[in-house]
Chains A and B, each alone.
Chain A
Amino acid sequence: MFQKLKNFYHKLGSYPWFYKISGKVIPFVGFFSISLIVISSIWGLFFSPTDAVQGDVYRIIYFHVPAVSVSQVIYYSMSVAAAVFLIWRMKMAGVYIKSLAPIGAAFTFIGLLSGAIWGQPTWGTWWVWDARLTSTLVLFLFYLAIIGMQSTFASRKSADTAVSIITLVGVVNLPIVKKSVDWWNTLHQPASISISGESSISSEMLIPLLLSILGVYLFVFFTGLLFMRAEISSREQNKEWFKKLSSNN
């Protein structure tokens, strides 16, 4: 079992192997993610019940929660990739960070924007400097720093190293984002979905929400693969295997 995992890990580091496998997976993942997003959006916007307190405005939850949730998961995965890059010098980890950072930034932005649009009618303000909102803004700024740093180095390797270090520095912010609503007084309410206990959102509203979360996660998987392939082809365009591949097609 361990040997198999180790083999898989080594294969993951191989550009030709990744390029071949990802090409096969992409159409399926793309199809499932987009259909799930469409289904859950229609379900959430038109068929799930109206909330007793907030009325129909709560429906923005079907965009807000998946976006902010995936933006945190992307950052966690990027910091694992950063550690892998720094310890094992796996080039693929550098490709991963570079490709996923703009996706993470985009979803953090969607999360902040949808939160502001939600906050205006319910709380009475677009923005407030509470711990949850501020730490999410910090997450967004870390993403921007990672994206910005990519092009400030002459060599690919030093860029990947520096970016990995910045990514690791930012990972402490994630538990703060998650726990801020429990540790401090905030305007933002605590989490409604609980994995260990009972969720405080009724099941008729929860099911489309979970579907939309799954859809967005798959969408990130889909776009992540696309971006990584693009990054690999730009890094490897002069290599033998890549030329052979493109001449075959």
Chain B
Amino acid sequence: MLASNLFATGKNQKERIQDKKIMKQHRLKRLYGVLFIVFCSVLAFVLVYFAIRDNVNLFYSPSDLFENPPQGRNAIRAGGLVEIGSLRRSTNSLEIEFIITDLKKSIAVNYTGILPDLFKENAGVVATGYFDKSKMSLDAYQILAKHDENYVPKEVKKALEK
């Protein structure tokens, strides 16, 4: 088998040694080219990331807001859980108040409008609006509900709660 291989190729000794190498020289060079392209684009993405890293997060947690209250009058987003028992609805308007907590710190939010279906106490929420540093509260104009990654059948959840 080995002998027939040796004779069948009709190549000289040097070429056979070349063939034994995993990759031929010119292909190895092109492999470096490919790796260089990938390296450059990773580098570009990393640089972009460092330029925008303060803005990559969609929202600030209440702890972030206590540590680093936002400067200026721009709208910000705050996110966390709606504290249990904190939701207050007005009886004659769409005005509501609640507290966003990350279980360490919390901020008050007030909002006038319709809430998304998934909004409820102890569930995730992202509120956009203007932050008042003196009261540590947010005057929100948009409320988004977060849903978590858990999917449980209705019947199972009911049975668990009994």
Q: What residues make up the interface of A, taking CB atoms closer than 8 Å to B?
A: 49-55, 58, 61, 82-83, 86-88, 121-125, 128-131, 165, 168-173, 176, 184-187, 189-192, 200-202, 204-205
Q: Is the CB of A192 within 8 A of B115?
A: no
- Chain B 5-38, CB-CB to A under 8 Å as 1, else 0, gives 0000000000000000000000100110110011
Pick the contact of B150: A83, A165, A192 (CB < 8 A): A192
Tell me the chain B residues, 146-162 only, with Cβ under 8 Å from chain A: 146-158
The answer to whether B66 has its CB under 8 Å from any CB of chain A is no
Please give me the residue from chain A that is nearest to B158 by CB atom.
A52
Those of B52-72 within 8 Å (CB) of chain A = 56-61
A131: nearest chain-B partner, CB-CB: B56
B residues adjacent to A (C-beta < 8 A): 27, 30-31, 33-34, 37-38, 40-42, 45, 56-61, 79, 115-119, 123, 126, 142-158
The interface residues of chain A lying within 8 Å CB-to-CB of B37 are 165, 168-169
**Nearest A residue to B42, CB-CB:** A172
Q: Flag if B154 contacts A125 (CB, 8 Å).
A: no
- Which B residues lie within 8 Å of A121 (CB)? 116-117
Is B153 a contact of A185 with CB atoms below 8 Å?
no
Q: Is B34 in contact with A122, judged by CB distance below 8 angstroms?
A: no
**Residues on the A chain within 8 Å of B61, using CB:** 185
SS class, residues of chain B in contact with chain A: mixed
Q: Provided the pairs A49-B155, A202-B153 are in contact, do residues A187 and B126 lie with their beta carbons within 8 angstroms?
A: yes
Which residues from B are CB-within-8-Å of A191? 149
Q: Which residues of B contact A172 (CB under 8 A)?
A: 38, 41-42, 45
User: Is B149 in contact with A190, judged by CB distance below 8 angstroms?
Assistant: yes
Q: Is B58 touching A128 in the complex (CB atoms < 8 A)?
A: yes
Let me know if B57 and A201 touch, CB within 8 A: no
- Given A123-B144, A176-B45, A204 contacting B118 (CB threshold 8 A): no
Q: Which residues of B are found within 8 Å of A204, using beta-carbon distances?
A: 153
Question: What 3 pairs between A and B have smallest CB-CB spacing?
Answer: A124-B116, A49-B153, A52-B157
Closest residue of chain B to A181 (Cβ to Cβ) is B149
Contact of A168 among B38, B145, B156 (CB under 8 A): B38
CB-CB nearest in chain B for A123: B144
**Do the beta carbons of A122 and B152 come within 8 Å of each other?**
no
Q: Indicate which residue in B45, B56, B144 contacts A125 across the interface (CB closer than 8 Å).
A: B144
A202 and B156 contact, Cβ closer than 8 Å, known pairs A87-B27, A124-B115, A185-B61: yes
Closest to A171 in B: B38
- Chain A residues near B150 (CB, 8 Å)? 53, 192, 200-201
Closest residue to B55 on the A side, CB-wise? A129
Docked-complex contact B153 and A168, CB < 8 angstroms:
no
